[in-house]
Structure formats: C-alpha cells, structure tokens
Structure 1
Amino acid sequence: MPIIDTQSEATTSRTWWRNPSAWGGLLAMCGGVFHTVVAALMRQDVWAQIIDEGFFNTVTLEPSADRLAAAEAFWFSVGSFGVPLLLLGSLVTWLIRRGVPVPGWLGCGLAAWAVLIGLVSGFDGGTLILLTIGALLAAGAWTARRAPGPLPRY
C-alpha cells in the first residue's frame, strides 16, 4: 500500500483555486448534489409512498408492474451516479487542499465514461458536465506534473 507524504504542504486558498482539478472537484460535488436532489424532488410522490410503506425491501432488480415506479425513483435519484459523483468531488477537493495531486488516469477515465454515455444515449447536459469534470481533472494532473518543485511522495 503506498504511503502518502503527510508532510506535503497544504495549498493556500489562492493557489487552490488555480488548480483545474479543484474546479473539477467542485463541479462534481455540485453536480452530484444537484442530480440527487432534483431527481428525488421530481419523484417526491413516489418517495412519499416509499416512506409510508417503509424502506426495507422496497426496490428489487426485477420489480413487478406495481413496484416499477419505486424502482425507477430509486435508480433515478439515490441509486444513480449522483451520490458517487458527490463523493468523488469531495475526495478530489480534499486531496487538492492538502497539496496531493489527483492522478491523471482518474480524469481520463471519467472523460472516457462520459464519451461512452454520450455515444450510447446522446450528449445531453449531464454528459457534457461529466466530460468537463474529467477534462478538468486530467488538466489538473497535467499542470501538477509540469509545476516546479518536487512531487509529493506516495
């Protein structure tokens, strides 16, 4: 398991904002919160029904016709990519604030995933935001490698 140098210098608020990865992390956090909250609000009547019935065993992978609305509400809101995107953005901003560069493969992987989603289902606003987040993370990794000074030890 790699050891992260905990003595690396944390970035100040001025330098933190100059890093493209910081903007990618913030955009991921905002996008994750937005998607989860708006999707839940769009299905608030179904969520009220789920709360009335109880949470346990409400959603299955093979829902019956009468449970399809509950399954769709779950997979569209908290079961979708919104929560992991929020967590990813939080991790990225946490790393950047501590002076640890985000790996470039993370941004490239996210951008490739966004392109795949766009090719299969069309390039809508959400797909373009995912692509932007991936590009910002990749650009942040690229600029961190080009910055003068030693890279943090792993």
Structure 2
Amino acid sequence: MPLIDTKPEPATSRRRWWRDLTACGGVLAISAGVFHTAAAVVMRRDVWAQIIDEGFFKTVTLDPSPDRMAVAEAFWFSPGSFGVPILLLGSLVTWLTRRGQRVPGWLGGGMVLWAVLIGLLGGFDFGTIVLLSIGVLLAAGGWTGRRRP
C-alpha cells in the first residue's frame, strides 16, 4: 500500500504569497508582537527577577498596593499587553494567506478603529502607527482579495 502524503500544500506560490497585502500585514503583526513582548520583558527584567524570586503564581492582582504597583505594571506591559495577541493574530493571518484563503477586510477595519482609539486616548506613537499600518494592510488585502476572480 503506498504512503499518502497528508501534509497540506500551500495554495499559493511563495512568490505570490509575499506580494499579498494581507501577508505583509500578518508579517508586520508577528514582528510587532515579538518585538513588543521581548522588549517589555527586557525593559522590566529586574521586576521579573523579583517575581520569579517571590514565586510565579498569584503575584499579580488587579488592585495592587503601592509597593506591588511595579509588579502589576510589568505584567500589563508584557504578557498582559497586546503583544501576544498581535503575535497570534499575525501567525493566523500568514497561515491563512499561505493556504490561499482570504482574510476578511473587517478584521483590518477593526484594527484600524482600535489603533485610532488608542491614538486619540494616548497619542499616536510608533506602536500605534504600527497597529494602524497592520489594520490598513489587512483591510486593503481583504478588500482586494474579494475583487480577485
């Protein structure tokens, strides 16, 4: 009996995959998620050392006392922030795009609205511009993907 290859083949060629706006948005999201999470951990490494020394479980509360504020801030700046979800979203987008599946444009539109809200409330810094760029790329890729035959 011959062996059957069950590994799915990407539906798009590597060359075409990299030219897709949605794929560019996915790669940018992966890069932003990795950078934000890693930079946040490195910037707060002294607090993370304290957390590890004290014991990892139940060290963060939603209502921290003044002496625990640095621990809560390190958590919400690292794993509790948007870095990990953006990394996962970018991974999903690139996975779908490599298989030739369209990512809906509304996903990018939602990211654009989120980035604009963050920018209006906290200022349009580099991170907000990156989120806005990811949203625009995903929305544009979803819109142009819908128009292709």
Q: TM-score range by the shorter chain?
A: over 0.9
Kindly report the root-mean-square deviation, in angstroms, between the aligned alpha carbons of the 2 structures.
Answer: 1.3
TM-score after normalising by structure 2 = 0.92
Q: CA offset at residue 108 of structure 1?
A: 0.2
Q: 2:93 aligns to what?
A: 92
Identity across matched positions, percent: 70
User: 2:10·2:98 contact (CA, 8 Å) conserved in 1?
Assistant: no
SS at match of 1:128: helix
User: 1:111·1:134 contact (CA, 8 Å) conserved in 2?
Assistant: yes
TM-score after normalising by structure 1 = 0.89
Residue 42 of structure 1 aligns to which amino acid in structure 2? Answer: M
Q: Please list the CA deviations of residues 17-56 of structure 1 after superposition, one character each: whole Å capped at 9, or x if unmatched.
A: 1110000000000000000000110000000010011111
**Counterparts of 2:100 and 2:9, CA distance in 1:** 6
SS at match of 1:17: helix
Q: CA offset at residue 8 of structure 1?
A: 9.9
Q: 2:131 aligns to what?
A: 130
Q: 1:47 to 1:145 in 2, by over 3 A?
A: same
Q: 2:47 aligns to what?
A: 46
SS at match of 1:23: helix
Q: 1:70 aligns to what?
A: 71
Query: What are structure 1's unaligned runs of at least 5 residues?
Result: 1-6, 149-154
**Counterparts of 2:22 and 2:14, CA distance in 1:** 14
Residue 61 of structure 1 aligns to which amino acid in structure 2? Answer: L
Q: Which runs of 4+ in 1 moved over 3 A?
A: none
Residue 70 of structure 2 aligns to which amino acid in structure 1? Answer: A
| Count of matched residue positions in the alignment of Structure 1 and Structure 2 | 142
Residue 39 of structure 2 aligns to which amino acid in structure 1? Answer: V
User: 1:8·1:99 contact (CA, 8 Å) conserved in 2?
Assistant: no
Q: 2:21 aligns to what?
A: 20
Q: CA offset at residue 145 of structure 1?
A: 1.1
Q: 2:5 aligns to what?
A: none
